[in-house]
Amino acid sequence: MNKSFRVGIIGGGIGGVALARALWQRGISFRLFEQAAEFREVGAGIQMTPNAVKVLKSLGLADEMKRVGFLPEAMVGRGWETGEELFRTPLKDTFVQLFGAPYYHVHRADLHSILTEGLPEECITFHVRCVDVQLKGDKAVAVFDNGDEFEADLIVGADGIRSAVREGLWGKDDPAFTGHMCWRALVPVDKHPLPFVLPAVTFWFGPKAHVVTYYVKGGQAVNIVACKETDEWVKESWTEPSSTEELLKAYDGWHSDLIRLFERTDNSQVFKWGLYDRNPMERWSQGHATLLGDAAHPMLPYLSQGAAMAIEDAYVLAEALVHFGGNVPLALDAYEAERRNRTRDVQLQSRERGRTYHLESPEEQRQRDLALRERQSQDPNAVGISAEWVYEYDATTCRQRFGVSSGVSLKE
């Protein structure tokens, strides 16, 4: 690859910094642009499933994940009112054998921190907002709100669901409000786990709503994600204030274990946001510019794969650039061929989980719960949310598929 080859990354979220780390690891010059004044991630938990952990390990972060992560014992499904156990998938002792990597719970800020650790400061520019991208032959130019421009061999939009790079390439296309909203909160834990919160990722299924709870910070806090359908528009912001009272009101009548947990939330640290969605794209790239993560494929959180898909994207894109010797058109063809179908499937299946988690009629709930129990009885290791196909994927072997999936010749 030409030593002068460089990549411009727009956006310093999980996907953007994962790409920066993957490029840096491979000796590819990059410049990352972030509109905030510094790196920061919201105070929320995140699930790093085996497919993402395989990439993090390949990026040299296996020990760091052990340090900041929490290994849940199981994935458990429970009924919203009775607390009846619907399924229990063993995680801690089985997922490495089944899927080649563990399943971690981690705080977003901790994950972001280990991804950025050691990145060269001179390759990161803060406090600039990209407003457009322009294509110029074998180059692309990012245009910023302060009038500055940055020309590169490749510009990558990792700038989220309302991506300026996406709009610059494909025109304005606002995401649609789904009618679903979420609350998030963290509950600190003293020395011992809370007796009413399992050391597991627990799914509580209810009518038009569900709740997921799990430990983060090495077990020092419980992360709450509570999703509910609503007729009212909810702002698209992870920092929209809510309250303990509003959260308790929304889940009135749910199991006492959940209510006890909600009552422990800090009233000033309960937030809510609306869930927005887009249909899968037919193409992510034009010329020497492309998209990554939510900019390309925003997805509902019901398979816990938003960050994982961005991490996979980042790794595959970096590998494609190396594999094709910096030939951007070939690399982008291979990148999209490897990634588009997978991310489309995860997008669509995440929508479907939003339906099955929220079944309203008692009869529909009974049939779903019966199917969950039957599947578990046939296979004790069956993933309760039917996500084996997600976890099996290994982005780190993508080079083996480039020649076949992209329809281009392998580099000699």
Catalytically annotated residues: 214
Q: Which of 251, 261, 257 is nearest to 78 (CA)?
A: 257
Q: Which of 206, 246, 208, 247 is nearest to 224 (CA)?
A: 247
CA distance 226 to 283: 33
